[in-house]
Chains A and B, each alone.
Chain A
Amino acid sequence: MLMNKVILGFLIIGIAIIGGTLYYFTRPTKIQIRIAGSTTCLPIIQEAAIQFMSEHPEVSINVEGGGSGHGYASLIDRAIDIAMASRPPKQVEVDQATQNGVELRLHKIAMDAVVIIVNPKVADDYLNLTLEQVAKIFAGNYTKWKEVDSSLPNEDIIVFTREAGSGTRGTFEEHVMETFGLEITADAHEVPSNPQMAISIKNTDYSIGYVGLGFYNEHDHGIVYLAVNDTSPYIPPTKENIYSLEYPIARYLYLVTNGEPEEGSWISRFIAFVLSSEGQQIVEEKGFLSLPSEND
């Protein structure tokens, strides 16, 4: 009696497994797009995904953060369809991709700037620094704020940085640290996303860090106006200055695919949506810059 039930149980499990496998191979038409990567792009793409899904109920888009490095790594390992990136790929990543037979195809979706933010105790609304000063601060060459400028408080500088693969970090390193041949100090605290950087700078006294423009909040942070050297003017990261590339750390935000997406495929339709006026409006809403049209 019970014996039959047990055999029945095993049979059911067996059928379930076989059925599941068959189901997997002959899947019904629910389309799935997997996106992962830069936490800078995340708010934009999350909102875009929600709007796209409400217009097209047969598509399911999964979005997650993890940083540009995670995006590239996942795309290279073919675990996702689209990667979000706030920096172009590093040489190592390009090599890895070619090894795996993946072709990294970048699509620009917005403009952004990496802004240096400080805890309000350092400067309540803005602070003028040259690129070299910033590089030295992050390299640990200055340990107290007073050493940077005598008008600043005599407190230890607490440096925050992003994880190794971060696009924001990559852009920052390229434009600031590498220009002066410096490395970010090992004393720096690592945080794995833009929102976390923003919160850490807000909550930690006398701290300094960097985020994408959309994550700077004037109530929570002081912002740095950058000068290329001590004779140039200090440039605030306003939209005009970023579009004109006067602000030294301007950059593009990208969606990355494996090769050119097929004409008419859902992936290409989603990217087109992000590039459309609706998509670009989302970009602006989240505090970033829409792509300049050819006329600018």
Chain B
Amino acid sequence: MVENMLKASANPCIKFNMKSTIFIIPIVIVIGVLVYILSLIILGGLKALNLDLLFTSIMYGGIFEAIIGTFLLLVGTSILALPISIATAIYLTEYAPKGGKTVKIIEQSIDNLAGLPSIVVGLFGYEFFVKMLGFGVSLLSGWLTLLIMVIPIVTKATKEAILMVPEEFRKVASALGATKWDIIRDIILPISMPGIASGIILGMARISGETAAILFTACTLTARGIPATPLEPIISLSYYLFVVIFTSPGSAYTKAYALATILMSITVSLYSIAIIVRFHYRKRKRW
């Protein structure tokens, strides 16, 4: 308001936009880089992609199992993470004595889990799940390793969603004779559902492009079709891309572009869906 008054006064001593336009440069750089990277991949991908490639087995030059592998990793990890994360978030917000030691410990643990470098998680997963527990390089080892990275994301999102439920709802329900569990089951969970959903999608987006953690824990190069049990290894888009880049003769990056385009589409779509869900959710909930 004051700015408008000053603008209106047309005082020549007050310079407005000349020096300020300098700040548009960094934005242009950032968006420019994004567009450049996207176009590099997409343009290469458009040339390389065709339905054949997508559905032929890896053994014969296609990338079918890579798509299946990524899908299995994503879905499996999410299913395993769901109960643990939701329960943790609910416990932290509803049950635990506020500010008590348990809350602090669990919250600290979750935050620390989120900050772990992915290669350290991969090293742990390889030595512990693959070798020591004897699961071998398998889908299961991959799930357990990725679980470590997904739990903090979903827990945090669920916690935020639950905290947005107004306190009055809980008090009113209590006054009517509802138990804690009644409140959670019938009020809190249904209201937080979109927030939880965006959390899971965010988790899936995070691990869709993950390579370091599954490099040695879940992936192989030759696989026949879809694994019959979770104790078999899979091949994922990110891993296959990693290997293909390193072993492709200079200019023939066709397969690499195809893989990169599909991988990027999956990751970007998941992130976008999560952003949209979160956005709508925040817009709608006006108590």
Contact of A79 among B131, B219, B243, B247 (CB under 8 A): B131
B83, A49: Cβ atoms closer than 8 Å:
no
Q: Spot the interface stretch: B146-154, B159-167, B228-236.
A: B228-236
- Max chain A C-beta neighbours (<10 A), residue from B189, B232, B248: B232
Within the complex, what minimum Cβ distance (angstroms) separates A36 from chain B? Answer: 8
- B222 interface hit (Cβ, 8 Å): yes
Size of the A side of the interface (Cβ < 8 Å), in residues, is 38
Contact of A62 among B131, B134, B185, B233 (CB under 8 A): B233
B229, A62: Cβ atoms closer than 8 Å:
no
B250, A199: Cβ atoms closer than 8 Å:
yes
- B221 interface hit (Cβ, 8 Å): yes
Within the complex, what minimum Cβ distance (angstroms) separates B91 from chain A? Answer: 15
Q: Spot the interface stretch: A26-34, A231-239, A255-263.
A: A26-34
A23, B220: Cβ atoms closer than 8 Å:
no
Complex Cα distance, B233 from A23, in Å, reads 17
A10: chain B residues at CB < 8 Å are: 83
B228: chain A residues at CB < 8 Å are: 28, 30, 60
Q: A24-B229, A30-B228 are in contact. Are A64 and B250 (CB under 8 A)?
A: no
Complex Cα distance, B95 from A206, in Å, reads 67
Complex Cα distance, B83 from A9, in Å, reads 9
B59: chain A residues at CB < 8 Å are: 50, 53
B181: chain A residues at CB < 8 Å are: 3
A60, B224: Cβ atoms closer than 8 Å:
yes
A34: chain B residues at CB < 8 Å are: 136-137, 220, 233
Within the complex, what minimum Cβ distance (angstroms) separates A197 from chain B? Answer: 10
Complex Cα distance, B41 from A146, in Å, reads 41
Complex Cα distance, B232 from A82, in Å, reads 16
A20, B230: Cβ atoms closer than 8 Å:
yes
A65, B137: Cβ atoms closer than 8 Å:
no
Complex Cα distance, B246 from A193, in Å, reads 8
- Max chain A C-beta neighbours (<10 A), residue from B185, B222, B231: B222
Within the complex, what minimum Cβ distance (angstroms) separates B282 from chain A? Answer: 25
B231: chain A residues at CB < 8 Å are: 24
B185, A2: Cβ atoms closer than 8 Å:
yes
Within the complex, what minimum Cβ distance (angstroms) separates B65 from chain A? Answer: 11
Within the complex, what minimum Cβ distance (angstroms) separates B129 from chain A? Answer: 11
Within the complex, what minimum Cβ distance (angstroms) separates B249 from chain A? Answer: 7
Contact of B221 among A46, A60, A217 (CB under 8 A): A46
Contact of A27 among B83, B137, B229, B233 (CB under 8 A): B229
Q: A24-B229, A195-B246 are in contact. Are A50 and B137 (CB under 8 A)?
A: no
A196: chain B residues at CB < 8 Å are: 246-247
Within the complex, what minimum Cβ distance (angstroms) separates A180 from chain B? Answer: 31
B229: chain A residues at CB < 8 Å are: 23-24, 27, 30
B230: chain A residues at CB < 8 Å are: 20
A63, B224: Cβ atoms closer than 8 Å:
no
Within the complex, what minimum Cβ distance (angstroms) separates B30 from chain A? Answer: 30
A6: chain B residues at CB < 8 Å are: 185
B186: chain A residues at CB < 8 Å are: 2
B220, A63: Cβ atoms closer than 8 Å:
yes
B246, A79: Cβ atoms closer than 8 Å:
no
Q: A13-B83, A53-B59, A202-B250 are in contact. Are A63 and B137 (CB under 8 A)?
A: no
Complex Cα distance, B72 from A129, in Å, reads 52
Complex Cα distance, B250 from A266, in Å, reads 38
Complex Cα distance, B130 from A34, in Å, reads 13
- A268 interface hit (Cβ, 8 Å): no
- B68 interface hit (Cβ, 8 Å): no
- B223 interface hit (Cβ, 8 Å): yes
B185: chain A residues at CB < 8 Å are: 2-3, 6
Q: A3-B181, A24-B231 are in contact. Are A199 and B249 (CB under 8 A)?
A: yes
B83: chain A residues at CB < 8 Å are: 9-10, 13
Closest to B234 in A: A62
Within the complex, what minimum Cβ distance (angstroms) separates B38 from chain A? Answer: 25
- A275 interface hit (Cβ, 8 Å): no
- A141 interface hit (Cβ, 8 Å): no
- A77 interface hit (Cβ, 8 Å): yes
Q: Which B residues are closer than 8 A to A by beta carbons? A: 59, 83, 130-131, 134, 136-137, 181, 185-186, 189, 219-224, 228-233, 243, 246-250
20 CB < 8 A contacts A-B: A13-B83, A20-B230, A23-B229, A30-B228, A46-B221, A50-B59, A53-B224, A60-B232, A62-B221, A62-B233, A63-B220, A64-B219, A64-B220, A65-B221, A78-B131, A78-B134, A79-B136, A195-B246, A199-B249, A199-B250
Given contacts A62-B220, A78-B134, 16 further A-B contacts (CB under 8 A): A2-B186, A10-B83, A24-B231, A28-B228, A30-B228, A42-B221, A50-B222, A61-B224, A62-B232, A64-B220, A64-B221, A65-B243, A193-B247, A199-B246, A199-B247, A202-B250
> What are the 9 closest A-B residue pairs judged by CB atoms, nearest first?
A195-B247, A62-B220, A63-B222, A64-B221, A50-B59, A196-B246, A64-B220, A60-B224, A77-B131
